[in-house]
Amino acid sequence: MKNDTKIEQQLRNILSEEFIDIDPPENFTKNILAKLPEVESRTSHQSFKHICGCMWDKITRPITFSFSPLQLAVVLMVFCGSAVVFAPLNFSKVASRPVTMVKQQPVRFALYDPEQKFSSAVVIGSFNKWQSRGFEMSYDEQQKTWILEHELPEGDYEYVFLVNGESSIPDPRALFYVQDSFGNKNSLIQVGGVRHDL
């Protein structure tokens, strides 16, 4: 190792003495540059690839964090504290959100039939798509009336009584009626509102 440095030093001395007054040849720099291989200029696509490559290197290169147990404890405490403070707020927001529930109201349909002329009576209307199933009325001997009690969502509904399985008759006790477009009337019932509040 020491020999190497000695030789290097000797060579330096010789060369510096020998070439100290000699100028470089004419066009020295130009000639050297001309002999160097040409580097192709990058196209925009290549530049983009190059940038992407650099970025990829940066984001995929592993990063090492170093922290003390005390620092870790502080970070964990801040995280847990914020969770305790903000979580109930968010929960209360969700809990206070209105739940859209269809409010059902009890409705009583009654058809007075003192001589029990009808063998059956059913309520059909816009609330049951004019289908009789599940809306059959039962005859009350004491009141001499066909009765059906049912719960309906709030709203306005048209209805009629289908008697003996074939004839439709509007409710004689209804105050409001609607033309049914077939030359007859449908009774109108308003479910909800003051009628049910009173």
Residues that bind other proteins (CB under 8 A): 124, 126, 129-132, 160, 162, 166, 168, 175-184, 188, 190, 192-195, 197-198
Overall residue count recorded for the chain in this entry: 198
Residue number, 38 or 197, with CB nearest to other proteins:
197
Task: List the Cα angle 159/130/114 in 5-degree steps.
Answer: 50
Nearest to 160 by CA among 194, 197, 126: 126
- Closest approach, Cβ 99 to other proteins, in A, equals 17
Strand 104-112 to 185-191 pairing: unpaired
- Closest approach, Cβ 165 to other proteins, in A, equals 9
Residue number, 146 or 188, with CB nearest to other proteins:
188
Residues with Cβ within 8 Å of residue 137, at least 6 apart in sequence: 109, 111, 120, 121, 122, 123, 146, 147, 148, 161
- Closest approach, Cβ 131 to other proteins, in A, equals 7
Tokens of 195: 């009628």
- Closest approach, Cβ 159 to other proteins, in A, equals 10
Nearest to 144 by CA among 112, 118, 119: 112
Tokens 């007075």, residue located: 112
Residue number, 88 or 172, with CB nearest to other proteins:
172
- Closest approach, Cβ 173 to other proteins, in A, equals 9
Residue number, 26 or 197, with CB nearest to other proteins:
197
Nearest to 138 by CA among 128, 147, 130: 147
